[in-house]
Amino acid sequence: AFLNKGLEIRFRDERPDVLVHPASMTSVAISEQISAGRLAVGIVRGTVDGSERVATVPLARVPVDHVSVPLGHRLASAEVVEAGDLEGEPVLVVDRADAPYAHDAIVRYTSGLDVHPRWVTHGATQIERVFDMVAIGSGIGWLNTWQAEREAARTDVAIRPLTPVGMWDEFRVAWRQGDTRLATAACVRVVLETCGA
């Protein structure tokens, strides 16, 4: 999927001859689809399995430095959420089978700080569904800087800074190893120029 509408528009302006089908999928699914030749370019988090078939270039390293909290929760009124405040709290964590990179990063972060949340495991989903889970009180969700900035005006959850910062979403642009199509190269270039940090 394109990270934003502006990126999609820029690529379509540059390559109107190429049919674009934006899709939202997990990084695991993106890697599998690229390996199988069913997807030309994707943006993934973390490392890629099957790296002999999938080429990647770093795109951005974005801190996971916010949490989303249900409105009625005691932490909704906190100015800043300390990691220790998550002790014993219901905290969302993506199922490892769906998103091993994100799952391991979250568990490693809390374990490294000797914090033991009450994990609420969920399937990999888009951030909008995570906000839905938080809004109905299922648990506290994790947000990177981009997500927190984009969703700052939400009224159904409280978005609070998290300290200490100890996790990062590491995004990479990925394509099939050996793909020499000009459209693929153009898409990778546009992604890097538009979204690279």
pLDDT along the chain (197 residues), means of 10: 59 77 79 89 79 86 96 96 98 90 94 98 85 96 94 95 95 91 88 74
Q: How far is CA 64 from CA 20, 46, 146, 166, in A?
A: 30, 13, 9, 8
What is the rounded CA–CA span in Å between residue 94 and residue 124?
6
Residue whose tokens read 């969700």: 141
| pLDDT given for residue 51 in this prediction | 65
Amino acid making up residue 23? A
